[in-house]
Amino acid sequence: MNILRNGNPFGTHRVLEPKGVLPQPALKVSNDMDSLYDNEILVDVETLNIDSASFTQLKQAAGGDEEKVKEAILKIVSERGKMQNPVTGSGGMFIGRVAGIGPALAGKTGLKEGDKIASLVSLSLTPLKIEAILGIKKGTDQVNVKAKAILFESGIYAKLPSDMPETLALAILDVAGAPAQTIKLVKPGDTVVIIGAAGKSGVLCAYEARRRAGDAGRVIGIEYAAGAVEKIREYGFCREAVQADAADAVGCYEKISALTGGKLADVVINCVNVQNTEMASILMCRDEGTVYFFSMATSFTKAALGAEGVGKDINMIIGNGYTRGHAETTLNILRESPVIRAAYEKLYA
């Protein structure tokens, strides 16, 4: 393998178009796997966990045809050198084995060739080359592949834990930022509304919100479908489970206003993977409360201008997928909660 020198820590040396930007906003990056910069890590990728908003969009565009979804993924990676959905802008993450470590990183990573890791940076900035798509795990957004990827010097990753199946760890680590941020946002006694509380990230947020809010607090879960509302009740982390369409902002506001006696929520966490849920999130939040938009389907233009338009003085937080210690925090939820672990093992293991 050809070793190249002086790679930029943030990966700008891989950007092909347009020059001068970082890999995430770039339209195209180099996915040349025959050359490795001295500060890069080469990984043999086994599974991609496509971002939920992205995978939903791909399925809808393909009319549910799995072969067309595969074709779309291959086309995106071929054109961009990375898995970045051009509609949602989002990516996902991967698991794989370390295949090579650049000499400038020798002794600095704690890794060795053959180690199994999960990337904790988005596929939307990760150089990726897919040789073949082997299949899509039914009922999930996980895609089994034969592929290679590059992690930059600034990229973060986690060694896969030995006490749970790899595909389960991948699924959970993909949304690790959400419950970890919930811990930082929710205070004892808070009223918390979680949109998508039966989904992969929503359940984890509900678990941590209940712990942080305590007996004096209140966690309210919202889902669109009756079956999902029943799941919220089965998990047992929310005091109330509400069936509502998060695209119906006024309808959601009226239901939460009635439940809270007009006080609304101190914290609203948006975990859904569909568009046009910004205003419901905003209207359900009290003045000077906080809305955490974890969903990558969020339009931050709609959120900012929408809040202004209804005169809401609230704190709005972008769904940063990283906060210090988020991987271990989220894996520990599976270790602590038999209910969540059993449900997620059924789906992902």
Could you read off the pLDDT of 192-228 as tens digits, one per residue?
999 999 999 999 999 999 999 999 999 999 999 999 9
Query: SS3 for 41?
Result: strand
Q: What is the pLDDT of residue 321?
A: 81
Kindly list the structural domains of the chain, giving each domain's residue range(s) and its CATH number in brackets, ordered by start.
2-160 (no CATH), 177-342 (3.40.50.720)
Q: Give me the mean pLDDT over the 48-56 stretch.
A: 92
Please, what is the end-to-end C-alpha distance for the chain in angstroms? 35
Indicate if the pLDDT at residue 53 is higher than 90. Answer: no
Question: Could you tell me the pLDDT band of residue 273, with boundaries at 50, 70 and 90?
Answer: confident
Q: Which helix (H) or strand (E) holds 202?
A: helix 200-213
Q: Specify the higher pLDDT residue, 250 or 172.
A: 250
Instruction: Enter the DSSP assignment of 332.
Output: H
Reported as a single tens digit per residue, the pLDDT across 289-313 is 999 999 888 998 999 999 999 999 9
**pLDDT band at residue 276 using 50, 70 and 90 as cut-offs:** very high
What is the structure's pLDDT at 319? Answer: 83
pLDDT score at 214: 97
Confidence of residue 147 (pLDDT cuts 50, 70, 90): very high
Q: What is the pLDDT of residues 69-95, one digit of tens each?
A: 999 999 999 999 999 999 999 999 999
Contacts of 110 (CB under 8 A, 6+ apart): none
> What's the chain's average pLDDT?
95
Q: 150 and 291 in contact (C-beta within 8 Å)?
A: no
